[in-house]
């Protein structure tokens, strides 16, 4: 088989949904920006691109990948939409690696896009009633049960995980505070500059800015400030999930270019990383937050690796309880996990988060002289996804 490799990786800065810098930037613009830049950075002739695969969620259909291909001038390139909730863009990259690995395609741009700020509002016709609609409506990710509500991830992911593993409020607040500090430190050190593509954004006041710095991390976040926040469900005895130890609601896009190592050699382009393995799992929706832990074991087995072989980890902070549970189960060194922040601080632009994680891993591993990186996350409906790369 051909070895799939990544020859470019790029993301936008992450905005705060509904009130941040990307509030007036639609999904189509984010998608076109990221696909165009991924191809440009790859050094590959756009005429050689075989496909674009982008994750999208709550976009309402339309196929962002095909839109971006055409808008980027690649009118002969098809586009594929992927939905695996939070793990969608990890799946998009895995799909690209699989196609390239078996020789079905040679060059694929893969990633994800999320603009909750401009997402359409859907309505659903109540079956059996001719003119009755439920609006707004979000399609469910799983059959709802009392312990796994479909629209309240604070319970289904955050709280259920904390209860199952015995994670305290103090531990989650400490993890979230560290996440913000690491993200701020990374921004101040300029670590994200190479991985971010700047784009023009119209702010709510009508002014135009070059948006190139993640805006969700909060300076001055401390454990004490997080401890003062109210829990999201005070009516539930012992509830410990707050807005502070949860991920943000965010907009962003990220993409990589995946090619065969033979294509990279023939085109004379630099290989940034090898794609070594990928995996997906499912658990009962009640245990959604534990899916990240489960998929890590599966993907390490596929790659023939042990925990100690991994140089750096990105485990998405859908809630702080998620990476804490994974660290405990697998005995990881938490200093190697979410080295520049994650969902609690950088934010969680759902369909883009996986590709963002892979992009950040690539650039950080290159700064450290190489190594193995694992990106893993839970996903709606009781799913989990992971990808192993080597720089």
pLDDT at 131 over 90: no
38: left (phi over 0), alpha (psi -120 to 50) or beta: alpha
From the list 85, 99, 344, 378, the catalytic residue is: 378
pLDDT at 154 over 90: yes
pLDDT at residue 270 in the model:
98
CA–CA gap between residue 153 and residue 369 (Å, rounded)? 38
Q: What is the mean pLDDT of residues 259-287?
A: 98
Q: Quick check: is 344 catalytic?
A: no
Give the CA angle between residues 93, 288, 11 to the nearest 5°. Answer: 30
Share above pLDDT 90 across residues of the chain, in percent, rounded to a whole number: 94
| CA neighbor of 378 nearest in space, from 142, 146, 63, 121 | 142
Task: Please answer whether residues 101 and 274 qualify as being in contact, where contact means their C-beta atoms are separated by less than 8 angstroms.
Answer: no
Share above pLDDT 70 across residues of the chain, in percent, rounded to a whole number: 100
pLDDT at residue 60 in the model:
81
pLDDT at residue 204 in the model:
84
CA–CA gap between residue 172 and residue 174 (Å, rounded)? 5
pLDDT at residue 205 in the model:
87
pLDDT at residue 1 in the model:
81
Cis bond before residue 272 (omega within 30° of 0) = no
Task: Please answer whether residues 383 and 85 qualify as being in contact, where contact means their C-beta atoms are separated by less than 8 angstroms.
Answer: yes
Query: How sure is the predictor about 282, in pLDDT bands with cuts at 50, 70 and 90?
Result: very high
Burial (CB count within 10 angstroms: exposed 0-12, middle 13-18, buried 19+), residue 258: buried
From the list 86, 99, 142, 344, the catalytic residue is: 86
pLDDT at residue 52 in the model:
98
Strand partners, 199: 211
CA–CA gap between residue 256 and residue 55 (Å, rounded)? 12
The per-residue pLDDT for range 204-259, each reduced to its tens digit, is 888 999 999 999 999 999 999 999 999 999 999 999 999 999 999 999 999 999 99
Tell me the pLDDT of the chain averaged across its residues: 97
Rg of the chain over all Cα atoms, to the nearest angstrom = 20
Residues 6+ apart with CB under 8 A from 46: 39, 72, 73, 74, 77
Task: Please answer whether residues 10 and 197 qualify as being in contact, where contact means their C-beta atoms are separated by less than 8 angstroms.
Answer: yes
User: 3-state secondary structure string, the chain?
Assistant: CCCEEEEEEEECCCEECCCCCCCCCCHHHHHHHHHHHHHHHHCCCHHHCCEEEEECCCCCCCCHHHHHHHHCCCCCCCEEEECECECHHHHHHHHHHHHHHCCCCCEEEEEEEECHHHCCCCCEECCCCCCCEECCCCCCCCCCECCECCCCHHHHHHHHHHHHHCCCHHHHHHHHHHHHHHHHHHHHCCCCCCCECCEEEECCCCCEEEECCCCCCCCCCCHHHHHCCCECCCCCCCCCCECCCECCCEEEEEEEEEEEHHHHHHHCCCCCEEEEEEEEEECCHHHHHHHHHHHHHHHHHHHCCCHHHCCEEEECCCECHHHHHHHHHHCCCHHHECECECCCCCCCCHHHHHHHHHHHHHHHHHHCCCCEEEEEEEECCCEEEEEEEEC
Q: Tokens representing 57? A: 């969620």
pLDDT at residue 58 in the model:
87
Distance of CA 260 to the CA centre of its chain: 24
Candidate from 27-41, 97-111, 120-134, 190-204 with smallest mean pLDDT: 120-134
CA–CA gap between residue 35 and residue 259 (Å, rounded)? 15
Q: Quick check: is 348 catalytic?
A: yes
From the list 99, 142, 216, 348, the catalytic residue is: 348
Give the CA angle between residues 96, 99, 100 to the nearest 5°. Answer: 85
């Amino acid at each position: 088989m051909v070895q799939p490799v990544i020859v470019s990786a790029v993301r936008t800065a992450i905005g705060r949904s509904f009130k941040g810098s990307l509030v007036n930037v639609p999904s189509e613009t984010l998608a076109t920006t990221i696909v165009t830049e991924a191809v440009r950075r790859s050094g590959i002739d756009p005429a050689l691109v075989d496909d674009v695969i982008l994750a999208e969620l709550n976009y309402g259909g339309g196929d962002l990948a095909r839109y971006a291909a055409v808008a980027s001038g690649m009118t002969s390139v098809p586009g594929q939409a992927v939905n695996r909730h939070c793990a969608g863009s990890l799946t998009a990259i895995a799909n690209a690696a699989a196609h390239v690995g078996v020789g079905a395609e040679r060059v694929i741009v893969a990633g994800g896009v999320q603009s909750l700020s401009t997402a359409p509002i859907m309505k659903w016709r109540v079956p059996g009633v001719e003119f009755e609609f439920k609006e707004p409506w979000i399609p469910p990710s799983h059959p709802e049960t009392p312990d796994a509500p479909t629209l309240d991830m604070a319970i289904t992911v955050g709280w259920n995980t904390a209860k199952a593993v015995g994670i305290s409020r103090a531990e989650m607040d400490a993890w979230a505070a560290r996440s913000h500090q690491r993200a701020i430190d990374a921004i101040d050190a300029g670590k994200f500059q190479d991985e971010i593509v700047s784009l023009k954004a119209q702010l709510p006041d009508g002014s135009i800015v070059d948006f190139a710095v993640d805006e969700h991390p909060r300076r001055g976040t401390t454990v004490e400030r997080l401890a003062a926040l109210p829990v999201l469900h005070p009516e539930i005895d012992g509830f410990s999930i707050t807005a502070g130890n949860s991920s943000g609601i965010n907009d962003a896009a990220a993409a990589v270019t995946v090619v065969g190592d033979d294509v990279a050699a023939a085109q004379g382009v630099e290989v940034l990383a090898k794609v070594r393995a990928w995996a997906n799992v499912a658990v009962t929706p009640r245990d959604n937050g534990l899916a990240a832990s489960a998929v890590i074991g599966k993907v390490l087995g596929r790659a023939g690796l042990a925990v100690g072989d991994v140089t750096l980890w990105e485990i998405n902070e859908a809630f702080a309880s998620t990476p804490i549970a994974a660290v405990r189960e697998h005995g990881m060194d938490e200093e190697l996990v979410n080295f520049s922040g994650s969902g609690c601080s950088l934010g969680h632009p759902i369909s883009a988060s996986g590709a963002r994680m892979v992009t950040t891993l690539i650039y950080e591993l290159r700064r450290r002289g190489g190594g193995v990186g694992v990106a893993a996350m839970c996903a709606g409906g009781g799913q989990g996804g992971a990808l192993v790369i080597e720089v």
